Amino acid sequence: MSTPLKNDLFLRALLRQPTPRTPLWMMRQAGRYLPEYRATRGEAGSFMKLCMNPQYACEVTLQPLRRYALDAAILFSDILTIPHALGLGLEFEAGEGPRIDRPVRSAADIDQLPTLDPEVELRYVMDAVRTIRRELDGKVPLIGFAGSPWTVGTYVVEGGSSKTFSHIKGMLYGAPEQLHRLLAHLTRATIDYLKAQVHAGAQAVMVFDTWGGALSPAAYREFSLRYMQQIVAALPREQDGRRVPVILFTKGGGQWLAEMADTGADALGVDWTTDLATARATVADRVALQGNLDPSVLYAPPAAIRAEVGRVLASYGHGHGHVFNLGHGIHQDVPPEHAAAMVEAVHELSPRFHV
Amino acid sequence: MSTPLKNDLFLRALLRQPTPRTPLWMMRQAGRYLPEYRATRGEAGSFMKLCMNPQYACEVTLQPLRRYALDAAILFSDILTIPHALGLGLEFEAGEGPRIDRPVRSAADIDQLPTLDPEVELRYVMDAVRTIRRELDGKVPLIGFAGSPWTVGTYVVEGGSSKTFSHIKGMLYGAPEQLHRLLAHLTRATIDYLKAQVHAGAQAVMVFDTWGGALSPAAYREFSLRYMQQIVAALPREQDGRRVPVILFTKGGGQWLAEMADTGADALGVDWTTDLATARATVADRVALQGNLDPSVLYAPPAAIRAEVGRVLASYGHGHGHVFNLGHGIHQDVPPEHAAAMVEAVHELSPRFHV
């Protein structure tokens, strides 16, 4: 834990401190677009076995860092580890997305949810964090993460992915107190989980609110943002004498950035449907911003990728507090050399925004 | 064509003229949630046969009006009639969404696209419009519609639905001039198509930009909004001595309402992720607004539906220029009596906002 960090650009940018260039990482950087990832996953046998074996999880976490000059590693895991640990029966079926065998829909279902000890039921995650920290050896910081209670709740109530969110929205509008009890339970579990990740060695944490953007503004405030705020408030903000920044990311949340900044988070993720110039003006430099290249830009040839990287950097503009990233996870059919073109472009084009 | 309109609340609201209550209709009101629709579709044999037979199209257009006190009918058709007429081979497979057999991906593909005569290749649509107008007999106005060129383009280039838009975004960033040529072709076809619908009897027209919200702000302006603007500018705005209002709807376009209002459209559709109060302030009452109940509210019990209808009405607030609607199409598994609860609530709760 005491290895000095050789590259702390990412942590400094999250705290809006000066950096000589814009640091970057990629959401889902350890993923199927990399042949070495597919090989390791094949060896592990399944996605959950990859997550649950600290050696495999460490291996795939480090793979993108061997290829690209990235400024952060992110724990290889899934936002559904908590429902899995709650005993709801999580399965990933090929091409089908996640499935939860025992969805939580009644008051009785909610009452029966166990309280988790992350060092017991989720010990494999903490072991992965410790293993990765050791193997990283201070090269770059390690990001821990969890899904937002609302987002995890959508899978827990729907029993998997959904386009209409019929069950959870039926509950949200028809039995809001019941949904609040579920979200409160998930929030407590998420706080303990993220605390344990920080204790195990995560140097920043990110909360992924993938489905907050499916809500109306009023419902977002009450059922998603409120619980993320509780997480931000409860997390330890220092570890080993260094601040542990918290990043909130609501996909489709471009209209709510000011309220998200009010939570006290250090940084906000921004998807590509909001200009970083607009976002920066909205949050008035109270928080750092992370984003926001459209992941589908990586389907274009390298010269076009470079031009779009330049647009994103220019959109944030001069000054510190920007972490370059995609606006969502990298797509699995992107050629790895296109990701390389993006990384190179950030290294080459960003210094001029920091003078 | 000369039957006087018995209920013109919808047309008046679109022009921000006084009405005694808020008019309403539902996107996809003629649809699978209605057992009578499923029966007619079963009789027709397929979705395209339903669209292409003016008697069937008329029947399903009128079905929701028999059940609910709605203030507008919308032509039963599909946004993919243009690709179908272009000979690209459209099929709807059960549970799979639309599929286009011959996607348009190269410059040569674009060069080969034929020019359409809507009264020839799309005559069945015009026949449906004429049949519906006759059967409506002035009860409520009839809305004609088309997909936006960008949205139709996504299907044409991808060959169907897509989550990543890999082909069209690869073209957008890698070969923008080629995409512009395709969009210009689709725009010309759409203008002719909507003109013919108005000529055949459509009393308002709506442009559905279902996938504009998947774009960055800069790409939205250049590849979606620009072409919708051309459509607005080219449409006849009067027919039979009455203004034909144009509604633009970009799903996920809440951040771009001011620019959408600049097109000269009469009204904008708003999805449920933007408060109507915010939207109204943004457009400064230059246009009417249509929306925006989350369609998933209809999964909740009637009392909750009524409360949410009240919130939407209050969010728009006092004054004219609001057409109540869902924020997107009604879901197919919603109980029809829940739609009835929504319709009743609008009738009962809206008059107080018009005094």
CA distance A286 to B48: 53
Q: How many CB pairs under 8 A join A and B?
A: 104
In this prediction, residue A185 carries a pLDDT of 98
DSSP structure class, residue A105: -
Query: Residue range B17-32: average pLDDT?
Result: 98
pLDDT at B1 over 60: no
In this structure, is residue A292 part of a structural domain?
yes
Within 8 A of B305 by CB-CB distance, chain A residues are 173
pLDDT at A15 over 60: yes
- Burial class of residue A146 (count of CB atoms within 10 Å of its CB; 0-12, 13-18, 19+): buried
In this prediction, residue B185 carries a pLDDT of 98
From the candidates A276, A292, A294, which should be mutated to test the interface with B, based on the most B CB atoms within 10 A? A294
DSSP structure class, residue A202: -
Query: Residue range B289-304: average pLDDT?
Result: 98
Q: In what order do the strands lie in the sheet with B267-269?
A: B73-74, B142-147, B204-209, B246-250, B267-269, B288-293, B322-326
pLDDT at A1 over 70: no
Residues 6+ apart with CB under 8 A from B60: B30, B37, B40, B41, B50, B76
- With CB atoms and an 8 Å threshold, state whether A296 touches B169: yes
Domain region containing B256: 9-269
CB atoms within 10 A of CB A136: 21
Lowest mean pLDDT among A107-116, B88-97, B212-221: B88-97
- With CB atoms and an 8 Å threshold, state whether B255 touches A255: yes
Helices of type H across chain A: 9-14, 35-44, 47-52, 54-67, 81-85, 107-111, 123-136, 149-158, 166-174, 176-200, 217-220, 226-234, 257-261, 276-283, 302-316, 336-349
Within 8 A of A273 by CB-CB distance, chain B residues are 213-217, 252, 255
In this prediction, residue A165 carries a pLDDT of 98
Query: Residue range B193-215: average pLDDT?
Result: 98
- With CB atoms and an 8 Å threshold, state whether A297 touches B333: no
- Burial class of residue B126 (count of CB atoms within 10 Å of its CB; 0-12, 13-18, 19+): buried
From A183's Cα to the closest Cα of chain B, the distance in A is 19
How does pLDDT run across A203-219, given as a tens digit for each residue?
999 999 999 999 999 99
Q: Which has the closest alpha carbon to A150: A98, A60, A90, A220?
A: A220
Task: Report yes or no: B277 and B256 within 8 Å, Cβ to Cβ.
Answer: no
Using CA atoms of B127, B132, B138, B143 in order, give the dihedral in degrees to the nearest 10.
Answer: -90
Nearest residue on chain A to B292, alpha-carbon basis:
A216
How does pLDDT run across B166-203, given as a tens digit for each residue?
999 999 999 999 999 999 999 999 999 999 999 999 99
Nearest to B304 among A167, A173, A272 (CB): A173
In whole angstroms, how large is the CA radius of gyration of chain A?
19
Query: What is the maximal distance between C-alpha atoms in chain B?
Result: 59
- With CB atoms and an 8 Å threshold, state whether A300 touches B275: no
Query: Residue range A120-130: average pLDDT?
Result: 98
- With CB atoms and an 8 Å threshold, state whether A169 touches B297: yes
φ, ψ for residue B247, nearest 5 deg = -110, 130
**pLDDT bucket at B95, cuts 50 / 70 / 90:** confident
- With CB atoms and an 8 Å threshold, state whether A300 touches B170: yes
From B263's Cα to the closest Cα of chain A, the distance in A is 20
- With CB atoms and an 8 Å threshold, state whether A254 touches B255: yes
CA distance B88 to A176: 47
Q: Output the 3-class SS for A271-283.
A: CCCCCHHHHHHHH
Query: Residue range B51-62: average pLDDT?
Result: 97
From the candidates A162, A177, A296, which should be mutated to test the interface with B, based on the most B CB atoms within 10 A? A296
pLDDT at A271 over 90: yes
Within 8 A of B158 by CB-CB distance, chain A residues are none
Please tell me whether the peptide bond between B7 and the residue prior to it is cis, using omega within 30 degrees of 0.
Answer: no
Task: Report yes or no: B178 and B171 within 8 Å, Cβ to Cβ.
Answer: yes
In this prediction, residue A94 carries a pLDDT of 75
In this structure, is residue A136 part of a structural domain?
yes
In this structure, is residue A4 part of a structural domain?
no
- With CB atoms and an 8 Å threshold, state whether B296 touches A169: yes
Q: How many CA atoms lie within 13 A of A324 on its CB side?
A: 31
- Look at strands A242-243 and A246-250 and give their pairing: unpaired
- With CB atoms and an 8 Å threshold, state whether B299 touches A254: no
From the candidates A158, A163, A216, A338, which should be mutated to test the interface with B, based on the most B CB atoms within 10 A? A216
Query: Residue range B210-218: average pLDDT?
Result: 98
Within 8 A of A311 by CB-CB distance, chain B residues are 218
**pLDDT bucket at B227, cuts 50 / 70 / 90:** very high
In this prediction, residue B314 carries a pLDDT of 98
List B74's β-bridge partners, or say none: B143
CA distance B296 to B299: 5
CA distance B145 to A227: 41
In this structure, is residue A157 part of a structural domain?
yes
Nearest to A252 among B273, B297, B299 (CB): B273
**What is the amino acid identity at position B46?**
S
Residues 6+ apart with CB under 8 A from B278: A217, A255, B254
Query: Residue range B113-133: average pLDDT?
Result: 98
Q: What is the tally of structural domains in chain A?
A: 1
Residues of chain A in Cβ contact (below 8 Å) with chain B: 164-167, 169-170, 172-174, 213-219, 252, 254-255, 272-275, 278, 294-297, 299-301, 304-305, 308, 311, 331, 333
Q: What is the DSSP string of B138-190?
A: TSS-EEEEEE-HHHHHHHHHHSB--SS-HHHHHHHHH-HHHHHHHHHHHHHHH
Percent residues over pLDDT 70 in chain A: 99
Within 8 A of B210 by CB-CB distance, chain A residues are none
- Who has greater pLDDT, B239 or A232? A232
In this structure, is residue B186 part of a structural domain?
yes
- With CB atoms and an 8 Å threshold, state whether B304 touches A174: yes
Using CA atoms of B301, B307, B310, B316 in order, give the dihedral in degrees to the nearest 10.
Answer: -90
How does pLDDT run across A27-85, given as a tens digit for each residue?
999 999 999 999 999 999 999 999 999 999 999 999 999 999 999 999 999 999 999 99
Active site residues of B: 28, 32, 41, 78, 155
In this prediction, residue B237 carries a pLDDT of 86
* CATH code of the domain containing A150: 3.20.20.210
What angle is formed at CA A211 by the lines to CA A47 and CA A160, rounded to 5 degrees?
A: 45
Task: Report yes or no: B75 and B203 within 8 Å, Cβ to Cβ.
Answer: no
Residue A180 corresponds to which tokens in the numbers above? 């609040």
In this prediction, residue B56 carries a pLDDT of 98
Whole-number average pLDDT of chain B: 97
DSSP structure class, residue B69: -
CA distance B23 to B133: 19
pLDDT at B291 over 80: yes
CA distance A225 to A256: 9
In this prediction, residue B93 carries a pLDDT of 80
pLDDT at B3 over 90: no
CA distance B77 to A150: 36
- With CB atoms and an 8 Å threshold, state whether A296 touches B254: no
pLDDT at A2 over 70: no
How does pLDDT run across A222-249, given as a tens digit for each residue?
999 999 999 999 998 898 899 999 999 9
For the question of whether the overall pTM of this predicted structure is more than 0.90, the answer is: yes
In whole angstroms, how large is the CA radius of gyration of chain B?
19
In this structure, is residue A3 part of a structural domain?
no
- With CB atoms and an 8 Å threshold, state whether A297 touches B272: no
In this structure, is residue A2 part of a structural domain?
no
From A301's Cα to the closest Cα of chain B, the distance in A is 6
Within 8 A of A297 by CB-CB distance, chain B residues are 169, 173
From B312's Cα to the closest Cα of chain A, the distance in A is 10
In this structure, is residue A169 part of a structural domain?
yes
- With CB atoms and an 8 Å threshold, state whether B170 touches A296: yes
Selecting among A16, A33, A71, A78, the annotated active-site residue is A78
From A212's Cα to the closest Cα of chain B, the distance in A is 10
CA distance A84 to A82: 5
Query: Residue range A128-132: average pLDDT?
Result: 98
In this prediction, residue A3 carries a pLDDT of 78
φ, ψ for residue B209, nearest 5 deg = -110, 75
CA distance A26 to A10: 12
Task: Report yes or no: B25 and B291 within 8 Å, Cβ to Cβ.
Answer: no
Task: Report yes or no: B41 and B49 within 8 Å, Cβ to Cβ.
Answer: no
- With CB atoms and an 8 Å threshold, state whether A299 touches B333: no
In this prediction, residue B96 carries a pLDDT of 77
Which H or E run contains A322?
Answer: strand A322-326
Indicate if A66 belongs to the active site: no
From the candidates B28, B150, B171, B173, which should be mutated to test the interface with A, based on the most A CB atoms within 10 A? B173
Map residue A248 onto helix, strand or coil: strand
Query: Residue range A318-331: average pLDDT?
Result: 98
Within 8 A of A174 by CB-CB distance, chain B residues are 299-301, 304
What angle is formed at CA B296 by the lines to CA B26 and CA B351, rounded to 5 degrees?
A: 50
Within 8 A of B297 by CB-CB distance, chain A residues are 169, 173
